[in-house]
Amino acid sequence: MLEKFPVNPPAPEGRVITCVEALREGLRQLMEQDPSIFLIGEDIGVYGGAFGVTAGLVDQFGEERVRDTPISEAALTGACVGSALTGMHPIGEMQFSDFVVLAMEQLVMQAAKIRFMFGGKASVPMVMRLAAGSGTGAAAQHSENLENWFVHVPGLKVVMPSNAYEAKGLLVSAVYDGNPVMFFENKLMYKTSCAVPEELYSIPLGKANVARAGKDLTIVATSIMVQRSLEAARQLAAEGIELEVVDPRTLNPLDDETLVNSVIKTGKLLIVHEAVQTGGFGGEVAARIAASPAFGYLEAPIRRLGGKDMPIPYNRNLEKHAVPQVEDIVEEARKLVRGAY
C-alpha cells in the first residue's frame, strides 16, 4: 500500500499549515482512499476531538467511520485491536495520552503480542494517536509523556512526529505499517506550522532525520523538543556554536545508524526529551551510543536533559520549570561544547 505514496517529498513553499491541519488532512485523505480505515475515540465526532484534530470529519464520513465512544478507554482500544485483527485499519484517539493507562492491557498484553504469540499468523495494523505533553496548565493527570513505557514493549512501534510535515507523513506510514503503532502528538506542537505537501506521502518508520547539520554537538531530541533544540541551535549559532539536531522520529525501532554517525562526526551528545528523565528514552539512546563505534569518538560525557523527575504542576511558572525550555537547552549545549563536563 505504501508504495503508492511519494517518500519524503519536498514541501511546497507557501503551503504552510498547522500540525492539527496536517493531521486532519492526512486522516481525511487516508479515509477517502481506503474504506478499511476508520477513526474511533472519545468526542472525536461533532466535538472534533479535544484538540480539534478530527473537526469536520464526521460530516464527511459519518458516525460509523468517525466513531464516538463512551468514556471507556480499555474497550475503545480493544475495538481497535479486534477490528485490526480482522481486516480493518483503525485509528484510535486517546484524548489525553495520560488516559492510556486505562488501556494498557489491550495494548501491552494484546496488541503487542498477538502476532508473535500466534506464530506470526495474525496481525494488528492499528494506530493509536495520543495527545501528550505539558504546557497547557492541565496539571498532573493531563500532561504526561509516557512514550518510553511503550518503547519497552516489543511488538509495538512508537512514533513521535516533531512538526506538521513529519506528522502527516509518519501518520501514513503508521497506518500501513502492519503493526500496532503508538503515535504521540505533542499538544503544544499542534498549533505550530510549517510547509506541508497537499497530497498523501510517507515518511518511513525507523528512519531518523537530521533536522539541522552541525559539527560541534549532536542533540538527539524528540517531538516538541526538536523545535526547541532548533531554536537553541539558532541562538548558539550566533556564538559560533554549530549544533546538529537529530530527530529519531521513531523511538522503536530506532535508527541507530544515523545517531551513531552524527556522534562520530561531532564527538558530543546531548539527548533532550520532555518526559521525566529517569527511566526515559534518553537512557536508551545513551546506552546505544556508548555501546557503538561512536564511543571511541566521544570527547565528553553523554548528557541528558529530560523533564524533572516529578509530576507536572498546575502553576504556570512551576510547570515551565518542570520540563526543558529553549534556555535550558542553550545552557546545557553551551556547557557541553565548552568542555564543562
Ligand X SMILES: Cc1ncc(C[n+]2csc(CCOP(=O)(O)OP(=O)(O)O)c2C)c(N)n1
- Window contacting other proteins (CB under 8 A); options: 112-120, 134-142, 176-184, 249-257: 134-142
142 catalytic? Reply is yes
Residue type present at position 159: V
Q: How far is the CB of 99 from ligand X (least distance, A)?
A: 4
Binding of residue 140 to ligand X (CB under 6 A): no
Give the three cell numbers for residue 82.
Answer: 479486534
Q: How far apart are CA 293 and CA 249, in angstroms?
A: 22
Binding of residue 209 to ligand X (CB under 6 A): no
Task: Tell me which residues in 1-60 interact with ligand X (CB under 6 A).
Answer: 42
Q: b/e map of 39-73 (b: 16 or more CB within 10 Å)? A: bbbbebbeebbbbbbbbebbeebeeeebbbbeeeb
Q: How far is the CB of 195 from other proteins (least distance, A)?
A: 27
Q: How far apart are CA 189 and CA 22, in angstroms?
A: 12
Q: Which does 125 bind (CB under 5 to 8 A by kind): other proteins, ligand X, none?
A: none
Catalytic residue among 42, 142, 147, 319: 142
- Window contacting ligand X (CB under 6 A); options: 1-9, 94-102, 152-160, 266-274: 94-102
25 catalytic? Reply is no
In whole angstroms, what separates CA 43 from the centre of its chain?
22
Task: Tell me which residues in 88-107 interact with other proteins (CB under 8 A).
Answer: 98-99, 102
Q: How far apart are CA 259 and CA 244, in angstroms?
A: 10
Q: Contact at 8 Å (CB) between 282 and 248?
A: no
Binding of residue 149 to ligand X (CB under 6 A): no
Rank residues 99 and 184 by Cβ distance to other proteins and give the closer one: 99
Q: How far apart are CA 179 and CA 306, in angstroms?
A: 28
Residues that bind ligand X (CB under 6 A): 42, 71, 73, 95, 99, 102
Residues annotated as part of the active site: 73, 142
